[in-house]
């Protein structure tokens, strides 16, 4: 299955961080259970704050960066377990939350047996990363404090499309985008693997090119290749747009750019091979100047089992 959350890039950053947090908290919950602590990871921020002394619900919420209603629920759960108590403040307008004797004991168990183990496990993951991830998280939090996602989204007019040239760093995108649509509609053939796994050798080195389209906020959403098959002949091949980005007209933008690039490369013959199941793509090819051509079918189609449509660019 396609990982839509990962594939959508920055647009799904919140969902991806939430998913990551849930996976890490599930592991932390297991460590709490092993230590005999009847609490959940969601209680840990309140326990850590209360270890430094009594606080109001508002102070606990501010210290943990959570909402006051959410912290009120957490405090209620700690009180129900006998780990926290409250008493009226001197001004009688709020209540001061403090750990009970059992709460202090439990906090000590957590500090000795849970946080060091969870922290060491997380550090193992962080040590595999480039850069200081915790510092980057702080920067994200500071940026959101300055302006929310809603405020920033209101400033953008929409997802403009940008053409990106090939680089080795984008080879995986070329592979994955094409693997997605081929697997969804057909069976990956030997001719597919040769190109997708060796784009530098099979496309770039012989004089062809690979183009990518990037959508603001989504990252790379589409790609196509121009494979040189003769002195002035090029096959437009391996064109795909991520399913999660359909509707942005990225395919039309990319196809127009590929046609222009082929002309720049000196193409006198630009053709493509496809299958009638790709009806939407065929309509787009026709719209931008490709026509069905039996000579192209006879000359080139044998390299793909699935090919039953061949087209030549007429402009």
15, 133: one domain: yes
Give the phi and the psi of residue 167 in degrees, each rounded to 5. Answer: -150, 155
What is the model's pLDDT at position 303?
85
Confidence of residue 154 (pLDDT cuts 50, 70, 90): confident
Q: What is the pLDDT of residues 263-307, one digit of tens each?
A: 999 999 999 999 999 999 999 999 999 999 999 999 999 888 999
Q: What is the pLDDT of residues 201-248, one digit of tens each?
A: 999 999 999 999 998 878 899 999 999 999 999 999 999 999 877 788
132, 64: one domain: yes
For the chain, what percent of residues have pLDDT higher than 70? 97
Confidence of residue 149 (pLDDT cuts 50, 70, 90): confident
What is the model's pLDDT at position 159?
67
d(C-alpha 97, C-alpha 100), whole Å: 10
Which of 215, 216, 224 shows the shortest CA–CA distance to 254? 224
Residue 152 lies in a domain: no
What is the model's pLDDT at position 11?
83
Determine how many CB atoms are found less than 10 A away from the CB of residue 23: 10
Q: By CB neighbour count within 10 A (0-12 exposed, 13-18 middle, 19+ buried), where does 67 fall?
A: exposed
Residues whose CB falls within 8 Å of the CB of residue 213, separated by 6 or more in sequence, listed in order: 161, 162, 163, 164, 220, 221, 222, 223, 241, 250, 253, 254, 257
CA-based radius of gyration for the chain: 29
What is the model's pLDDT at position 177?
95
Which of 18-22, 132-136, 151-155, 208-212 is most confident?
208-212
Residues 186/8, Cβ–Cβ less than 8 Å: no
Q: What is the pLDDT of residues 51-75, one digit of tens each?
A: 989 998 889 999 888 888 999 999 9
Structural domain tally of the chain?
Answer: 2
The CATH number of whichever domain residue 125 belongs to comes to: 1.10.10.10
Residue 154 lies in a domain: no
247, 166: one domain: yes
What is the model's pLDDT at position 200?
97
What is the model's pLDDT at position 218?
83
Run of H or E residues at 304 = none
91, 182: one domain: no
**H-only helix segments in the chain:** 4-7, 13-34, 44-50, 57-64, 68-80, 101-109, 115-126, 133-146, 149-155, 171-185, 190-196, 199, 250-264, 279-287, 294-300
Give the dihedral of Cα atoms 274, 229, 197, 209; nearest 10 deg. -100
Please state the pTM of the whole predicted model: 0.60
Question: For the ranges 180-184, 233-237, 253-257, which has the lowest average pLDDT?
Answer: 180-184
Residues 97/57, Cβ–Cβ less than 8 Å: yes
286, 203: one domain: yes
94, 217: one domain: no
9, 131: one domain: yes
Confidence of residue 42 (pLDDT cuts 50, 70, 90): very high
Question: For the ranges 90-99, 140-149, 180-189, which has the lowest average pLDDT?
Answer: 90-99
- Domain of 92 in residue numbering reads as 4-146
Let me know the angle formed at the C-alpha of 4 by 22 and 122, rounded to the nearest 5 degrees. 30
307, 165: one domain: yes
What is the model's pLDDT at position 9?
80
3-state SS assignment for residue 17: helix
């Amino acid at each position: 299955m396609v990982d839509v959350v990962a594939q959508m890039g920055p647009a799904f950053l919140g969902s991806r961080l939430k998913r990551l947090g849930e996976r890490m908290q599930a592991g932390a919950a297991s460590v709490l259970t092993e230590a005999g602590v009847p609490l959940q990871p969601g209680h840990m921020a309140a326990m850590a704050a209360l270890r430094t002394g009594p606080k109001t619900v508002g102070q606990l919420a501010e210290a943990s960066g959570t909402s006051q209603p959410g912290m009120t629920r957490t405090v209620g759960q700690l009180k129900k377990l006998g780990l926290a108590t409250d008493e009226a403040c001197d001004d009688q307008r709020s209540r001061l939350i403090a750990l009970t004797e059992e709460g202090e004991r439990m906090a000590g168990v957590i500090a000795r047996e849970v946080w060091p183990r969870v922290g060491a496990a997380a550090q193992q993951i962080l040590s595999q990363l480039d850069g200081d991830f915790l510092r980057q998280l702080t920067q994200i939090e500071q940026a959101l404090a300055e302006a929310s996602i809603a405020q920033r989204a209101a400033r953008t007019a929409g997802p403009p499309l940008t053409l990106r040239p090939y680089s080795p760093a984008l080879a995986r995108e070329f592979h994955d985008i094409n693997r997605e649509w081929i697997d969804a509609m057909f069976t990956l053939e030997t001719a597919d693997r040769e190109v997708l796994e060796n784009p530098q050798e099979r496309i770039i080195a012989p004089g062809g090119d690979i183009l990518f389209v990037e959508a603001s906020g989504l990252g790379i959403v589409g790609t196509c290749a121009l494979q040189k098959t003769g002195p002035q002949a090029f096959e437009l091949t391996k064109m795909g747009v991520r399913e999660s980005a359909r509707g942005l007209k990225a395919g039309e933008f990319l196809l127009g750019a590929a046609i222009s690039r082929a002309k720049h490369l000196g193409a006198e013959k630009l053709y493509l091979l496809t299958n009638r199941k790709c009806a939407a793509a065929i309509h787009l090819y026709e719209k931008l100047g490709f026509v069905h051509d039996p000579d192209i079918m006879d000359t080139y189609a044998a390299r793909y089992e699935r090919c039953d449509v061949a087209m030549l660019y007429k402009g």
